[in-house]
Structure 1
Amino acid sequence: MPPRTPRTPRSPRNARPTKRKECYFSKNKIDYIDYKDVALLRKFVSDRGKIRSERVTGTTPQYQKLLAQAVKNAREMALLPYTTR
């Protein structure tokens, strides 16, 4: 067997720090997420009908909970589809 060579530490893939996304609701001073505002809710739902995560959309945990509840209410009222094929 050949002798082992010491491993060099891996460098980070992206040397510059990533910019954190701003919360849409905090930025626009929206206090209440209305389940009837389908145009707004569609921005936070994927084309497959899944609710996008906080990491992807940049929403804060507080608004992500309100958003999820609004999307679920809109689905129940048949304003948004559960899934699309």
Structure 2
Amino acid sequence: MPKERDNNDRDRRTRRGAGGRRGRRPKVCQFCSGDLEITNYHDQRMLRRFISDTAKILPRRRTGVCAKHQRRLATTIKRARMLAIIPITQKLVRK
């Protein structure tokens, strides 16, 4: 004898798949659009936008930078770390 489904099961399934996630706008590379430039490694304020709280380089999917500029940005950040302009690591504060 098959198990009867109640309306709650059907409602749960339709809620999950129907409108669960909105479409996101595609991120446009800030360097390609001309808003920012990777001029030198001395610009701390610009470089810190692409570094996490623990001083890791943020991935492309998070920043919206194209592959070409992500590579340039990574080398610029690494150069700034070598010259001690930005920190290599940050303390991890656990709550």
Query: Which TM-score bucket, shorter chain as reference?
Result: 0.7 to 0.9
- How far is 1:24 from its partner? 1.3
**Superposition RMSD in Å:** 2.4
Question: With structure 1 as the length reference, what TM-score do the two structures score?
Answer: 0.79
Task: Tell whether 2:21 aligns with 1:21.
Answer: no
- How far is 1:29 from its partner? 5.7
Question: With structure 2 as the length reference, what TM-score do the two structures score?
Answer: 0.71
User: Which segments of 5 or more consecutive residues in structure 1 lack a partner in the other structure?
Assistant: none
- Higher RCO (CA 8 Å, separation ≥ 6 residues): 1
Structure of higher CA gyration radius: 2
Identity %: 34
- How far is 1:32 from its partner? 3.9
Number of residue-to-residue matches in the alignment: 82
User: Which segments of 5 or more consecutive residues in structure 2 lack a partner in the other structure?
Assistant: 6-12
Counterpart CA distance in 2 for 1:59 and 1:70 is: 14
Q: Which residue of 1 aligns with 2:9?
A: none
| Range with greater deviation from structure 2 (27-36 or 55-64) | 27-36
Between Structure 1 and Structure 2, the one with more helix by share is 2
Q: Which residue of 1 aligns with 2:72?
A: 66
CA shift digits 1:35-81 (9 cap, x unpaired): 11111101100111000110000000000000000000000000010
- How far is 1:33 from its partner? 4.0
